[in-house]
Amino acid sequence: MAALPRDLTEDQQALQVLNRLAFGPRPGDVAAVRAVGVDRWIEQQLQPESMADTSAARTEAAFALLAGSPAELMERSPPPAIVARQMQRAGDVPTMDDSARYREMQRTQGQMVAQLQASRVARAVGTERQLEAVMTEFWLNHFNVFIQKGPTMRHYLASYERDVIRPHVFGRFRDLLGAVAHSPAMMIYLDNAQSMADSTHLTQLEMRARPNALGRPAPRRRAGLNENYGRELLELHTLGVDGGYTQQDVINVARAFTGWTVDQPAKGGPFLFRPGMHDADAKQVLGQLLPPGRGIEDGEEVLDIVSDHPATARFIVRKLAVRLVSDSPSEALVARAITTWRRTHGDLREVVRTLVLSPEFFARTAWRAKVKTPFEVVVSAARAMGAPVDTTPRSAAAVAQLGQPLWGHMAPNGWPDQARDWMNTGAILNRINFGFAVGANRLPGASTTNWAVAREIAQSPRAAQVDRVVLELLGGDVSPDTREILNTGAHPLGDAAAQQASAPAPRADTTVMNANANVSVNADPMPMRNGTAPPRPAAGPVGRAGAQLFRALPPLSGLPQIVALAIGSPEFQRR
Amino acid sequence: MRRRVFMKAGALSLVTMGLSPSFLRRSAYAMARGPAGKGRVLVCLFQRCAADALNVLVPFGERAYYQARPGIAVPAPKAGAANVALDLDGFFGLHPSMAPLVPLYQRGLLAPVAAVGSPSNTRSHFDAQDYMETATPDVKGTTSGWLNRYLAAKGTCEECLVNGKPSAFRAVALTAQTPRILEGPAATVAMDGLDAFALRASNPDAAARIEALYRTGQADVVHASGNEMFEAMKMLRAANPQQYAPRNGAQYPAGPFAQKLRQIAQLIRADVGLELAFADVGGWDTHVNQGGATGQLANRLDEFAKAIAAFVQDLGDKMGDVTVLTMSEFGRTVRQNGNGGTDHGHATTMFVIGDGLKGGKVHGRWPGLAPELLYEGRDLALTTDFRAVFAEVASRRLGATALDAVFPGFNTSSAGWLGIA
């Protein structure tokens, strides 16, 4: 490809790819990217299958509860609610031993949730296949599922990430969409597992039994259709809300997917198509006729239709451009990537390549144009501090504390990805306090004394320390004011204002509140909260781990303070 | 109150006489929809995981209630007896643990609503909470909560502005993370506690430097949010809500829920522009050994009732401007199960509390508990959509006008309201 003009300097280009196509630079990464060459680095990242990834293998080994198929997880760590129900059915009277076993099972469930959350942070921090991890997070969010949707969901999530999403992030969109549609996690989350032909339509089994039944026999009463997956497939997964479909399309798509269900979810069973649930009458979807008498082909054809639909290309391409380039990508860039989509029939590797090798990607207007999500704040801080992979729940707890509990987005639209969604008073306060927590060595593995950079500058004067921290954590690019404030403490508010700003709140009433008090943000859609049973099954262990993050932070001075201020600074909130 | 009623009637009569210049039309409309303005506060309390409505608001006048719950029914009121239902109107009684709320009922501040809830037939906690918080039953994709839409639709009254903008503490959730009910475009703050809204660095130097970093530099969304945050922090420090000890002899019980209510009262007293507060309380999913007049559920109700009673007592005559609204995603089965508990049901009970409400009366049509009257053969049937209660409170009590935007797809006309507010 001919070199296109790029606004950014070589160093900035290296930072740009590390901030957008990776989760931020580790110490030494900018030099490493420059040594390979920015374009060649991108090319390597687009071919993750050809990269060794020892870190990811080590990460997987650390999360033993997640190893294996959903059925194996279910066998090993059954949900207490299901075991209790089985006992109740068997008429067993619970003993003290059963109670103890029940509590132990609950504890294991909590640990499994903690590992599900922690493993995502660990992989993002550690993997060499950074772009694959970025895209996996993108698609996990696009095809959002919620961990508290029923007691079996958590057993499917490791597989959802590992087997459904990740293998397809550089494949064709149709294959990714198909893998999701065939996943128990999505079929359970959006209720398709329960959706069946309503009483006015023949199922495939009924039609087979009476091949000539064109009139309407009176089929037995059925619970009927659930439109949830049908609607979100069109609105959120493919065409987008303005994609030009009707309510009748939603109904007919839902009819096409009747019978797409899960075989024995209480045993962690796989996807299953049940002809006895499938509405086999004719239906029309987006102007195309699905003939009567068919089975699973109905849903497959719908997936073909929506994957090929021009509205889908536009919706997905634009969402990718917003993730990778800026909150308001140019129409020209989107149009070029749509052309790539059409030419390659939705090859996601080629679409991403078009976006990230574009002049727009390396334009000045794209520099620091994105505000980091809480996940990106925590992961980029860990990487910048050279932290080893954290196998405890604490880093994931920090992500939750900043307002983005992993697997914890209840609504199917996923977390938002634009600055306005993540920036508000509560969010800023949390991010500033997170910076202080990192300065106080509260983020596991991130130590201001063991940091490779710290060892080099520990004895340097403050000005030199500031320069180096600005280089490592803020890409060397801050305003003179910022540098001055970090350096001398002189700032426009003056000393009196500074004293006032930091005076502790007067307190007549000394009621002590929760030690794990924290402030959270109103980012459009919402975080996880009490779902199926008190006490919160999913947030439990993470909640306790999160409690330590902000608790009783010590006074910060010297290099730890500079690090804290840099991570809490406005510049670090951007990428 | 009297004057307000008169003005409302007066303005409307001008309209009917044909004398309706636009400003009068506007004010007539505003009046018809209820008064708005500074100091009107809505406090929403969510009992998560399905409180057992039938043992909270006990229909002791129903034989079927006692037949369905031989082991866990709350006994009918009886003079001089302890651990019996507390008679409200000869048919309904409150659970004995809710004794602190009886005086509120007698004074007309407490309006229980029976057989209310979501028309969705889901018995999933997750789905039902989602529906109650978005106020769009059976629609999953709703991205905002109804309280946030209420904030957006209502706008802020002019006297409520702080430096020309809505207060940072206009809507506060005393929760670790923003609840679904507050999701949406209007700014809200969620915090575990009042002392959480503070910088954690314990030295002035670090705090001053970080503030300076946000006070300089370009005018972008990050800096702007930072500036707002430091202004809000100053405001909270100056108002110092924690200086307000409970008044009027109010005693909050121990426990996190009561402490949250206490902090909401402090925010109201501190006059920081609070218009909406949210807190939740769990522990209601009583599938096993829930108890009757005493036991597990009784213990939960004890903190719940004491906390609310203390809150009302603490705020005293401010309760004319404060409305408390309690809710739970659904009720529980009419019949007790094999474990001395109850399973997931349908209609539930809400409480609306405030001075000037039509309290002292149990609202909502009672559908009866005879087996043939039950929803799907097992649950208390629903006679009032929860959105009718929300809409009436939002409109009559809080002055919201654009109800169709707050409750999309729901007929918000006052014809379906119960006459609570």
What residues contact residue B415 under an 8 Å CB cut-off, 6+ apart? none
- Shortest distance between the Cα of B100 and any Cα of chain A, in A, equals 23
pLDDT bucket at A502, cuts 50 / 70 / 90: very low
Please indicate if any CB of chain A lies within 8 Å of the CB of B191: yes
C-alpha pair distances (Å), B363 with each of A227, B18, B203, B352, B420: 35, 36, 55, 10, 7
C-alpha pair distances (Å), B346 with each of A513, B147, B156, B328: 35, 23, 36, 11
**Residue B69 is which amino acid?**
R
The pLDDT, as a whole number, for residue B39 is: 58
Distance from chain centroid for Cα A531: 20
The pLDDT, as a whole number, for residue A270 is: 98
- Shortest distance between the Cα of A214 and any Cα of chain B, in A, equals 33
Q: What DSSP letter does each residue of A176-209 carry, written as one string? A: HHHHHHT-HHHHHHTTGGG----TTS-BHHHHHH
Nearest CA among B384, B373, B377 for reference residue B347: B384
Q: Do B190 and A521 touch (CB under 8 A)?
A: yes
Q: Domain B35-196+242-416 carries which CATH code?
A: 3.40.720
CB-CB contact of A437 with A539 (8 Å): no
Range among A208-222, A349-363, A504-518, B155-169 with highest mean pLDDT value:
A349-363
Q: Do A555 and B206 touch (CB under 8 A)?
A: yes
From A552, which residue of chain B is nearest by alpha-carbon distance?
Answer: B200
**Residue A514 pLDDT greater than 60, yes or no:** no
How are beta strands B110-117 and B348-353 bridged, if at all? antiparallel
pLDDT bucket at A77, cuts 50 / 70 / 90: very high
| Contact map slice: A 514-543 vs B, CB within 8 A | 514, 516-536, 543
Nearest CA among B106, B52, B141 for reference residue B343: B52
Helix, strand, or coil (residue B179): coil
pLDDT tens-digit readout, A106-143 = 899 999 999 999 999 999 999 999 999 999 999 999 99
Nearest CA among A223, A269, A222, A573 for reference residue A422: A573
Q: Measured between CB atoms, which of A437, A482, A556 is closest to B213?
A: A482
The pLDDT, as a whole number, for residue A250 is: 92
Contacts of A99 in chain B (CB under 8 A): none
Q: Do B195 and A190 touch (CB under 8 A)?
A: no
Residue B18 CA to residue B27 CA, distance in Å, equals: 15
pLDDT bucket at A220, cuts 50 / 70 / 90: low
What residues contact residue B281 under an 8 Å CB cut-off, 6+ apart? B45, B46, B47, B48, B257, B300, B303, B304
What residues contact residue B42 under an 8 Å CB cut-off, 6+ apart? B147, B275, B276, B277, B323, B325, B393, B394, B397, B398
| Contact map slice: B 15-54 vs A, CB within 8 A | 48-49
Q: Do A518 and B191 touch (CB under 8 A)?
A: yes
The pLDDT, as a whole number, for residue B362 is: 98
The pLDDT, as a whole number, for residue A219 is: 54
Q: Do B199 and A569 touch (CB under 8 A)?
A: no
Q: Measured between CB atoms, which of B179, B196, B223 is closest to A526?
A: B179
Please indicate if any CB of chain A lies within 8 Å of the CB of B94: no
| Contact map slice: A 267-306 vs B, CB within 8 A | none
Q: What is the per-residue burial (b if ≥16 Cβ within 10 Å, else e) of B286-299? A: bbeebbbbebbbbe
| Contact map slice: A 121-180 vs B, CB within 8 A | 146, 148-150
Please indicate if any CB of chain B lies within 8 Å of the CB of A235: yes
pLDDT bucket at A546, cuts 50 / 70 / 90: low
Please indicate if any CB of chain A lies within 8 Å of the CB of B223: yes
Count CB-CB contacts under 10 A for residue B243: 14
Domain coordinates in residue numbering, chain B? 1-33, 35-196+242-416
CB-CB contact of A157 with A116 (8 Å): yes
- Shortest distance between the Cα of B285 and any Cα of chain A, in A, equals 7
pLDDT bucket at A489, cuts 50 / 70 / 90: low
User: Which of the residues B121, B127, B177 would you substitute to probe the A interface, choosing the one with the greatest number of A C-beta atoms within 10 Å?
Assistant: B177
CB burial of residue A360 (10 Å; 0-12, 13-18, 19+): buried
The pLDDT, as a whole number, for residue B419 is: 96
Q: Do B143 and A524 touch (CB under 8 A)?
A: yes
Q: Do B192 and A514 touch (CB under 8 A)?
A: yes
Determine the Cα angle at A69 with ends A64 and A75, to 5°.
80
The pLDDT, as a whole number, for residue A531 is: 32
The pLDDT, as a whole number, for residue A217 is: 52
Q: Measured between CB atoms, which of A231, A510, A568 is closest to B210?
A: A568
pLDDT bucket at A216, cuts 50 / 70 / 90: low
Contacts of A543 in chain B (CB under 8 A): 176
Question: In this structure, what DSSP letter does residue A235 have?
Answer: I
Helices within A127-246 (DSSP H only): 130-142, 153-159, 173-181, 184-189, 204-209, 228-232
Measure CA of the first residue to CA of the last residue in chain B; give whole Å: 12
Q: Do A491 and B262 touch (CB under 8 A)?
A: no
**Residue A182 pLDDT greater than 90, yes or no:** yes
User: Which of the residues A500, A520, A557 would you substitute to probe the B interface, choosing the one with the greatest number of B C-beta atoms within 10 Å?
Assistant: A520
pLDDT bucket at A543, cuts 50 / 70 / 90: very low
Residue A108 CA to residue A79 CA, distance in Å, equals: 9
CB burial of residue B368 (10 Å; 0-12, 13-18, 19+): middle
Count CB-CB contacts under 10 A for residue A290: 21
Q: Measured between CB atoms, which of B185, B202, B208 is closest to A524?
A: B185
Three-state SS for A528-561 is CCCCCCCCCCCCHHHHHHHHCCCCCCCCCCHHHH
CB-CB contact of B306 with B26 (8 Å): no
Determine the Cα angle at A237 with ends A235 and A242, to 5°.
30
Please indicate if any CB of chain A lies within 8 Å of the CB of B340: no
ipTM of the complex: 0.86
User: Which of the residues A154, A238, A511 would you substitute to probe the B interface, choosing the one with the greatest number of B C-beta atoms within 10 Å?
Assistant: A511
Q: Measured between CB atoms, which of A436, A479, A536 is closest to B201?
A: A436
Find the helix or strand (DSSP H, E) in which A272 lies: strand A271-273
Category of B271 on φ-ψ map: left (φ > 0), alpha (ψ -120 to 50) or beta: left
User: Which of the residues B167, B203, B209, B223 would you substitute to probe the A interface, choosing the one with the greatest number of A C-beta atoms within 10 Å?
Assistant: B209
Per-residue pLDDT of chain B (421 residues; tens, 9 = 90+): 333 333 333 333 333 333 333 333 333 333 333 344 445 899 999 999 899 999 999 999 999 999 999 999 999 999 999 999 999 999 999 999 999 999 999 999 999 999 999 999 888 888 899 999 999 998 888 889 999 999 988 877 766 777 677 888 999 999 877 889 998 888 888 888 888 889 988 788 999 999 999 998 777 889 988 988 998 899 899 999 999 999 999 999 998 999 999 999 999 999 899 999 999 998 898 877 899 999 999 999 999 999 999 999 999 999 999 999 999 999 999 999 877 889 889 999 999 999 999 999 999 999 999 999 999 999 999 999 999 999 999 999 988 888 999 999 999 999 999 999 9
The pLDDT, as a whole number, for residue A198 is: 86
- Shortest distance between the Cα of B26 and any Cα of chain A, in A, equals 33
CB-CB contact of A387 with A481 (8 Å): no
